Each structure stands twice: as C-alpha cells, then as structure tokens.
Amino acid sequence: MTKTPNIKNFNRGTITIGLVFLIYYFATALALPYGAGPDYDAHFDGARFIFSEGRLAVLPEDLAKLNLTTYGSTRALRPPLPYIVSAITAKTLSWTGIDLQILMRAGSAVLCSLTVALIFLTLTQYFQSIAIGLIGALLVGLMPQFAFIASHLNDDSAAIFSVTLLVFCLSRFVLRQGSRTLALATGIAIGLVILSKFTAWLFLPFGGIAILLLARPRAGQWVSSMGLMVLGIVLGGGWWIGFNIFHYGWHDPLLFQVGAQLSQQHMSLDPSQLKGFAAEGVSFLGLVLGDYKNFLDETLISAIGNLDWLRLRVGFPQYLLYTIVIGIALVSIPFQSCIAIFRFITGRPATRTRQFIFESLLFLAIVSQFLIYAYYQWAQEIQVQGKYLIPILACPLILFFSTMNHIRQTRFWLRYRPAMTFGASAIGVRVPLLALFAGIAIILV
C-alpha cells in the first residue's frame, strides 16, 4: 500500500496555497475593467463610506453621503464584513496609487484566497490526505464563478469565507474532542457568518445542530467552552447586532424595518416589475421538478461559470467537470445510507457514525439552501444567479470526496492502487497518479 503522506507540516502548504491564489486574484482584479462585474456603485458605495469615514453609516444622519439604488436601498444597511475588509485592505494598499474603484476589489481577493486555504486545510485534516486537500483547493480556486467573485467587490466573497470557516470548525468537532480554543474559534466563525450576508445565515441552523450533536468538551470545560463560544459570536459579528439595537432600537436588530421604510420612500423602480415565477402561473413544484424555463440548468450554469448578469458562458469541459462533482456529492448520503443498511443486515459494526451525522447535515444544508433560493425566485423576484448557492461551497466538496474515499476503500481499489502510483518505495515516497492527473486536468480545464 502507498504510504500516507506526512501531514505534520501541511500548515506551510496552507499558507503557500493562500498566497498563490491571493496573487492570482489580485492579478485578475487589476485586469478586469470596472463595471464588468458585481462591483457596481452600490457595493462600492458601501465600502467607500467606511473607507472615508472610518465607521459604519447611521441613517438618516448619513443618508446624504450615500448613493441609493433603484430599489431605494443602500449596502450600508447590509451586514458589513465585506465592506470593512475591502476598506481596510484599500487603506493598507493606498500607497500603490491604484484607482480606488479597482483597489476596493482587494478585499474580495483576500477573503477568497483565505477561503481556498481553508478548503485545503479542512479537506486535508478531515480525510488525512494532502492530495484530496490540494485537488479540492484547485476545484474551488479555479472555479470560474468563484474566481470572478474573488476579482470584484461584492458580499458573496464574505459569505463563502465565513461559512467555509464555520465548516472547518465543525469538522474539527467530528475529528477530535472539543477544546476551549475550538469553542472560541467556532463562535467567531458564527459571528462572521452573521456579519457577512443573509444567504450565509441559511447555514446557521445546521451548524447549530452539528454543534449540539458533535461537540464534546472535556470534562469540567462545558461552562467555559460555552462562555468562550458566546464571546466569539459577539467578537465575530454579534457586536453589529448590538450596534443596530443602539441606533435603531430593540425592534430592528437586523435593520429590516429601516430598510423597508427607506425603500418605500426612495424606490425609483416600478414595483410591478418585481415578480417571481409564480406570476407566470407556474407552481413551485413545476419550477423545480418541471425545470420551468430551464431553471435548474440556468442555476447550475450560473453557479459554475455564468459570470453574473453578463451571462458570459465558459467552456463545456468546465461545466462537465463541476457537474460531475456536484452530482457525486448529491448521491453521497444515499450511497452511504445504503452502505449502512448493508452493514446492519450483514451484522457488521457501524463505522464513521460521527462523520455520517456531520455529512448528513451538510447534505441537508445544500438541499435547504437550494429550496429557499428557488422559493425566492418563485414568490419574490426572478434573479436566476447560482452565486446565491455558493456560500455552502465547502459542503458538496466534503460529500464528493467522502464518496470517493469510500471507493478508495473497495477491494478493487486496494488491489490495483499500487499500480496507480510512482515514486521511491525505499524512502517511503509514493505519488498517486490519479491525484496527479486530477490536479493537472483541473488546471487545464
């Protein structure tokens, strides 16, 4: 059998991967013209205010300093993590003399490069395989839509980063007994999810269930671990809710009411234009199961590489590669359930119970994210953009590699695996050819 790679020093690899993709995203951010993506005036306005004023906006006092959208809204009322990061990054790099509209993109580049590094870290530790971690990092880092998000000022980058960080923390609960440090880190991750984007919030219920089912603090550390987790939530993003309560009252901690009032007063868009698929007479089941107007196809395409509203298609190989990954991820839990049933029938002991619980929650998070996204398209407004599903990007990756890991443990694989590697057995170094070819294929695609 192939000797498992030494992963004691993989932290060095994590930093290297993060830096490589940071340079890559900086280059693409500088190359793409302003207005070619989601960094239109609304996002720039949200970051510019923090950049110039050094604080969050308070309405109505700061209304004159903000530019409202046609919806009568402002990004100043959105969770501010992406704009805080962009403003700080732009301040740090202001010496470069780069135009501020372009420089603000550096925040998304930082968040997305950190996400790729976290993907590598999560997969390497969860599956004890550097090869899996590297392939997963390449799949995410070179995904067309993800790279596009990393190259423009937007709030999706913060949503993806925060959920990925939370998934990493949850995976640690699966693999090891909880510690105070892990409890604090998990709390910070939850707080950052709150501070990132509403689409990221959809993962929080499943994260909470995972903590309840899988967290195992050491004896005598339950109270302190819970206290540190609460502290982490406050430090990560709970302070924003406190900020809102202080300025707008207890009745509006998430700024929904002030946002609705602002929209009623300043909306220039005809409200009759805001219609969902329901206005066309199609049922919700017809939209999803009937694939009304190619809803599923368009969602999948836009999630993989439909570059925001520009509708720029990428090549068939890219769509095929990521469709295969998503397809295998979605059959992961049914596949593992069949294995568990077979083991029960044959009287074999259950294995990977904690992993199965964790991965089942990830599967439910994927289904929930899609159904809520589809319901919004049906009931509220048609915006067929798969980027709203990307915050949970880490979930299908873990499920995909979990299925592939099961295949690696089959008799066929164990029998022929030595023939699928090369290297020097004398020094215990064997490189899996399949992983090497997979990495090359992803880069070429």
In angstroms, rounded to a whole number, what is the distance separating the alpha carbons of residues 429 and 435?
14
Please give the C-alpha separations between residue 415 and each of 2, 3, 139, 249, 437, in angstroms, as whole numbers.
11, 15, 28, 66, 20
Please give the C-alpha separations between residue 45 and each of 54, 133, 333, in angstroms, as whole numbers.
13, 37, 43
Is the pLDDT confidence value at 381 over 70?
A: yes
Task: Pinpoint the alpha helices (H) of 40-155.
Answer: 41-53, 81-92, 100-103, 106-127, 130-141, 144-150
Burial pattern 5-39, b for ≥16 Cβ within 10 A else e, equals beeeebeebbeebbeebbebbbebbeebeeebbbb
In angstroms, rounded to a whole number, what is the distance separating the alpha carbons of residues 14 and 133?
9
At residue 203 the predicted structure's pLDDT band, cuts being 50, 70 and 90, is very high
What is the model's pLDDT at position 352? 76
Is the pLDDT confidence value at 2 over 50?
A: no
Least confident of 5-14, 274-283, 364-373, 427-436: 427-436
Give the residue, 37 or 75, on which the prediction is more confident: 75
What is the average pLDDT score of the chain? 87
What is the model's pLDDT at position 3? 43
What is the model's pLDDT at position 1? 36
What is the model's pLDDT at position 427? 46
Give the residue, 369 or 32, on which the prediction is more confident: 369
The arithmetic mean of pLDDT across residues 328-355, rounded, is: 78
Q: What is the pLDDT of residues 273-323, one digit of tens each?
A: 788 999 999 999 999 999 999 999 999 998 998 655 556 677 788 889 999
Q: What is the DSSP letter of 430?
A: E
Least confident of 11-20, 169-178, 428-437: 428-437
How far separated are the first and last CA of the chain, in Å rounded? Answer: 31
At residue 349 the predicted structure's pLDDT band, cuts being 50, 70 and 90, is low
User: Quick one: tokens of 339?
Assistant: 């294995």
Least confident of 102-111, 294-303, 382-391, 428-437: 428-437
The arithmetic mean of pLDDT across residues 377-381, rounded, is: 93
Cis previous bond, 418, omega within 30: no
Give the residue, 388 or 4, on which the prediction is more confident: 388
User: Quick one: tokens of 122?
Assistant: 């999560």
What is the model's pLDDT at position 273? 77
What is the model's pLDDT at position 412? 59
Report the Cα 197 to chain-centroid distance in Å: 11
What is the model's pLDDT at position 405? 85
Tokens 């929209």 — which residue? 263
In angstroms, rounded to a whole number, what is the distance separating the alpha carbons of residues 307 and 144?
8
The arithmetic mean of pLDDT across residues 9-18, rounded, is: 84
What is the model's pLDDT at position 43? 92
Please answer whether residues 10 and 109 qualify as being in contact, where contact means their C-beta atoms are separated by less than 8 angstroms: no
Is the pLDDT confidence value at 64 over 50?
A: yes
Is the pLDDT confidence value at 204 over 90?
A: yes
Is the pLDDT confidence value at 437 over 60?
A: no
Please answer whether residues 133 and 120 qualify as being in contact, where contact means their C-beta atoms are separated by less than 8 angstroms: yes
> Residue 291 belongs to what H/E stretch?
none
Q: What is the pLDDT of residues 129-144, one digit of tens each?
A: 898 999 999 999 999 9
Please answer whether residues 439 and 134 qualify as being in contact, where contact means their C-beta atoms are separated by less than 8 angstroms: yes
The arithmetic mean of pLDDT across residues 75-98, rounded, is: 96
Rounded (10°) CA dihedral 317, 323, 328, 333: 160
The arithmetic mean of pLDDT across residues 329-349, rounded, is: 77
Cα angle, residue 313 at apex, residues 164 and 44 outer, rounded to 5°:
55
The arithmetic mean of pLDDT across residues 244-258, rounded, is: 95
The arithmetic mean of pLDDT across residues 9-31, rounded, is: 91
The arithmetic mean of pLDDT across residues 206-211, rounded, is: 96
Please name which of 424, 329, 404 lies closest in space to residue 129, comparing C-alpha atoms.
404
What is the model's pLDDT at position 219? 77
The arithmetic mean of pLDDT across residues 408-422, rounded, is: 59
What is the model's pLDDT at position 9? 60
What is the model's pLDDT at position 177? 77
Please name which of 93, 117, 115 lies closest in space to residue 103, comparing C-alpha atoms.
93
What is the model's pLDDT at position 107? 97
